[in-house]
């Protein structure tokens, strides 16, 4: 995807705790050219008259520093395909959750 409009907000409700919420609006510069991966491989062929709106995503992240050696990270993302996907084939949604722990020595 080529362009995005991003809004972000975060709060630190306690020492070592970060809560973050991001919103992304993905737009294509030339929908007729299609959509490409960062590697340059085409993800979806374009179509004349297709919408520039590729999709929207909401990300929620929780980060907690337990002590100076250990940090935890967890998140959830929701992606809703935009009109470009509907104009060029199947359209849908995706959910993604993850957890991570980091130990520093």
Q: How confident is the model at residue 94 (pLDDT cuts 50, 70, 90)?
A: very high
For 11-70, the pLDDT digits (tens) are 999 999 999 999 999 999 999 999 888 899 998 999 999 999 999 999 999 999 999 999
Residue 57 burial (CB < 10 Å; 0-12/13-18/19+)?
middle
User: What's the token pair of residue 98?
Assistant: 């993850």
Among residues 5, 102, 95, the alpha carbon closest in space to that of 63 is found at 102
Residue 101 burial (CB < 10 Å; 0-12/13-18/19+)?
exposed
Report helix, strand or coil for 84: helix
Phi, psi of 100 (to 5 degrees): -150, 145
Look at the pTM and tell me if it is higher than 0.75: yes
């Amino acid at each position: 995807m080529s362009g995005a409009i991003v809004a972000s907000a975060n709060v630190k409700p306690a020492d070592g705790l970060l809560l973050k919420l991001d919103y992304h609006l993905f737009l294509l510069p030339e929908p007729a050219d299609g959509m490409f991966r960062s590697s340059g491989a085409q993800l979806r062929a374009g179509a004349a008259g297709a919408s520039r709106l590729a999709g929207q995503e909401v990300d929620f992240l929780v980060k907690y520093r337990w002590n100076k050696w250990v940090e935890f990270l967890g998140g959830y993302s929701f992606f809703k395909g935009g009109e470009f996907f509907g104009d060029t084939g199947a359209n849908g949604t995706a959910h993604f959750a993850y957890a991570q722990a980091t130990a520093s020595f």
